[in-house]
Amino acid sequence: MSDPRELYQQVIIEHNKKPRNYGDLETCTHQAHGLNPLCGDDIVLKLVVADGIVQDVRFQGQGCAISKASSSLMTVNIKGKPLAEAELMVEQFREMIRGTLDTAVDPNILGRLSLFQSVKNLPSRVKCAVLPWATLHSALQGEQTVSTE
Amino acid sequence: MSTAALPLDVARVRQDFPALCTPFHGKPLIYLDSAVSGLCPRPVIDRMSHYQAYEHTNVHRGVSTLSQEATDRFEEAREKVRAFINAPSPKQIIWTRGTTESINLVAQTFGRQRVQAGDEILLSAMEHHSNIVPWQLLAEERGARIRVIPMNDAGELILDDLEALLSDRTRILGVTQVSNVLGTINPVKEIIARAHARNVPVLVDGAQGVPHLPVDVTDLDADFYVFSGHKLSGPTGIGVLYGRQELLEAMPPWQGGGSMILSVAWEKTTFCGLPGKFEAGTPAIAQAIGLGAAIDYLLGLGLDRVGAHEHELLAYATRRLQAIPGLRIIGQAKAKASVLSFVLEDIHPHDIGSILDHEGIVVRAGHHCAQPVMQRMQVPATTRASFSYFNTQEEIDALVSGILKVQEIFQ
């Protein structure tokens, strides 16, 4: 296993402490509840989508630093983006965590999300990082609840 | 004669555990997770390996010498368990896959016979999911109700109102001997006596009790006592259901199949007596023999010496961890086994667990299959260190350094 400091970088620690777009949306067009029953990570994600663009997004719930920072950075990265781009990010994030996409080499739109690349060396934490993305995917597909189990 | 005067030779004991003598992430393995599953000492591994290599065939079948000898070894292991928990007869020792299966067996036979619509099943607030869910399934099926013995903030059961909770509709009381999260040692003998005064039978979950405490089911007067081999330095896949003989005899069989019958005809099948009635199919033979070897190993160390060492480790760890600013121990009962749960500021236990893992320290992080305990203590999860007879104070020092490193990363 690599040094945990590689994963627990300042950006992740900081997003864990002060998550962006944290809270509820009174009205939304899409929402989903993501659960990781094994470790208790639990997020509710709400979105306002109009004209094919993610106009607003919020999340709330509880979880470890990895899942919270992943949720926070996800919301920052999809806000204002077209749906197709958000879905592409979901796909590329998953590929990065699986190790089939190397952000240093392969073309991608992940930007700062590449911070999570070293999660692939921590198999027991993969689900924590992927949970918000799986939840986003179900929200956009119109599913209500998703579990990473 | 007491052996407590001579302390456990921990350095020598550790040599019996291959994993403790092998680097992990390039560091010595510090295994503080015996409450999730104990490590197997070499004599237990060797005994199972020898059985599988030279003595194996099916048991209770055929006339071959090999089959007879396999059966003898298998039944000797049952007798070792009987003696270890002081059960009156080996007939009362039923092999199962583990604690969970033992409880499901009781719920689906004894429970189905006794529990009807409107009846009550009384459980404690600190049960593991394995002593909750089988009863919920039964309650759902029968239209019965689960009631709960509450606990205080220290993690001790509040027994003042036990008589009020034991109603005329209570059909069984299930309680853990030792909490897997809080370490609390419950006064099960007293609980059983008070339940019996109301004619309520009691199932004791001994999964966390039997590794730490001498168990005497006759003295406890338990109706059912259940535990797993793998928490007792034995292998997984084997567990025990002890039951009072007249109760076991009155219960219907659970699973049907070979081994549990006297005769089978299309018109009618008759079942065999105890313990075979509850042991359909080929059992986990090597694992049963391994559990017998684990009991021999523990008795060889001396249960009082094991207990004394674990008690010292708990006292030392409690003192060291309490001194860490921002750390809060969850479970402060007066009587505790060597299980220590804690929360650290608002750092999630999974992050703590991952960072400790990198230091070679294995702990459990999460809800410990006891979500109602988490809800009662108002924490989403805890980090848990559990100490066994092979652990040392130096390993606890390493845990403390690891926790300080977590704080440094998260500051």
Q: Tens digits of per-residue pLDDT, A32-83?
A: 999 987 777 899 999 999 999 999 999 999 899 999 999 999 999 999 999 9
Q: How far apart are CA A20 and CA A14, in angstroms?
A: 10
Q: Tens digits of per-residue pLDDT, B164-175?
A: 999 999 999 999
Q: What is the CATH number of the domain that holds B293?
A: 3.40.640.10
- Per the domain annotation, does B180 fall within a domain? yes
CB contact under 8 A, B409 and A5: yes
Write out chain B residues lying below 8 Å of A39, CB-based.
Answer: 350, 365-366, 381
In a shared domain, residues B294 and B152: yes
Residue in chain B nearest A5 by alpha carbon: B409
A75/chain B closest Cα distance in angstroms: 21
Q: How far apart are CA A73 and CA A75, in angstroms?
A: 5
In a shared domain, residues B211 and B79: yes
In a shared domain, residues B248 and B382: no
CB contact under 8 A, B351 and A5: no
Write out chain A residues lying below 8 Å of B381, CB-based.
Answer: 39-40
Residue in chain A nearest B382 by alpha carbon: A39
Max distance between CA atoms of chain A, in angstroms, equals 44
> Is residue A6 within 8 angstroms of chain B, CB to CB?
no
From the candidates A18, A39, A68, which should be mutated to test the interface with B, based on the most B CB atoms within 10 A? A39
The tokens for B261 are 């019958």
Taken in order of first residue, the domains within chain A and their CATH numbers are 4-141 (3.90.1010.10)
B128/chain A closest Cα distance in angstroms: 15
CB contact under 8 A, A39 and B357: no
- Per the domain annotation, does B281 fall within a domain? yes
In a shared domain, residues B222 and B287: yes
- Per the domain annotation, does B39 fall within a domain? no
Give the model's pLDDT for residue B255: 96
Distance between first and last Cα of chain A? 23
Cβ atoms of A59 and A30 within 8 Å: the answer is no
What is the number of domains present in chain B? 2
In a shared domain, residues B174 and B241: yes
Give the model's pLDDT for residue A148: 65
**Residue written as token pair 């680097």:** B23
Q: How far apart are CA B287 and CA B106, in angstroms?
A: 22
Write out chain A residues lying below 8 Å of B348, CB-based.
Answer: 63-65, 68
- Per the domain annotation, does B393 fall within a domain? yes
* 85-114 in chain A: CB under 8 A from chain B: none
Question: End of a domain among B276, B299, B322?
Answer: B299
In a shared domain, residues B200 and B223: yes
Question: End of a domain among B299, B328, B355?
Answer: B299
Q: Tens digits of per-residue pLDDT, A4-21?
A: 788 898 889 999 999 999
- Per the domain annotation, does B67 fall within a domain? yes
Beta strand B202-205 with B224-228: parallel, antiparallel or unpaired?
Answer: parallel
Q: What is the CATH number of the domain that holds B336?
A: 3.90.1150.10
In a shared domain, residues B185 and B278: yes
* 25-84 in chain A: CB under 8 A from chain B: 38-40, 62-66, 68
Question: End of a domain among B241, B271, B299?
Answer: B299
The pTM score is: 0.93
Q: How far apart are CA B275 and CA B248, in angstroms?
A: 9
Selecting from A5, A13, A64 the residue whose C-beta is nearest the C-beta of B350 gives: A64
Look up the domain containing B77 and give its range: 46-299
- Per the domain annotation, does B36 fall within a domain? no
In a shared domain, residues B202 and B223: yes
Render each residue's pLDDT in chain B as its tens digit; 411 residues.
454 568 999 999 999 999 999 998 889 999 999 999 999 999 999 999 999 999 999 998 878 999 999 999 999 999 999 999 999 999 999 999 999 999 999 999 999 999 999 999 999 999 999 999 999 999 999 999 999 999 999 999 999 989 999 999 999 999 999 999 999 999 999 999 999 999 999 999 999 999 999 999 999 999 999 999 999 999 999 999 999 999 999 999 999 999 999 999 999 999 999 999 999 999 999 999 999 999 999 999 999 999 999 999 999 999 999 999 999 999 999 999 999 999 999 999 999 999 999 999 999 999 999 999 999 999 989 999 999 999 999 999 999 999 999 999 998
Write out chain A residues lying below 8 Å of B354, CB-based.
Answer: 4, 7, 122, 124-125
In a shared domain, residues B249 and B394: no
Selecting from B348, B365, B380 the residue whose C-beta is nearest the C-beta of A65 gives: B348
Distance between first and last Cα of chain B? 53
For the purposes of burial, counting CB atoms within 10 Å of the CB of B129, is it exposed (0-12), middle (13-18) or buried (19 or more)? Answer: middle
- Per the domain annotation, does B411 fall within a domain? no
Residue in chain A nearest B374 by alpha carbon: A40
In a shared domain, residues B120 and B194: yes
From the candidates A35, A62, A64, which should be mutated to test the interface with B, based on the most B CB atoms within 10 A? A64
Write out chain B residues lying below 8 Å of A13, CB-based.
Answer: 409-410
Q: What is the DSSP letter of B162?
A: H
Give the model's pLDDT for residue B68: 92
Could you give the residue numbers annotated as active site of B?
369
In a shared domain, residues B323 and B219: no
A8/chain B closest Cα distance in angstroms: 7
- Per the domain annotation, does B41 fall within a domain? no
In a shared domain, residues B113 and B54: yes
Which own/partner contact pairs does A38-42 have at CB distance under 8 Å and 24+ positions apart? A38/A127, A38/A149, A38/B366, A39/A63, A39/A64, A39/A127, A39/A128, A39/B350, A39/B365, A39/B366, A39/B381, A40/B366, A40/B367, A40/B374, A40/B380, A40/B381, A41/A67, A41/A127, A41/A128, A41/A131, A41/A148
CB contact under 8 A, B354 and A38: no
B136/chain A closest Cα distance in angstroms: 19
B327/chain A closest Cα distance in angstroms: 17
A58-95: b (≥16 Cβ within 10 Å) or e: bbbbebbbbbbbbbbbbbbbbbebebebbbebbebbbb
Percent of the residues in chain A that have a pLDDT greater than 90, as a whole number: 76
Residue in chain A nearest B354 by alpha carbon: A4
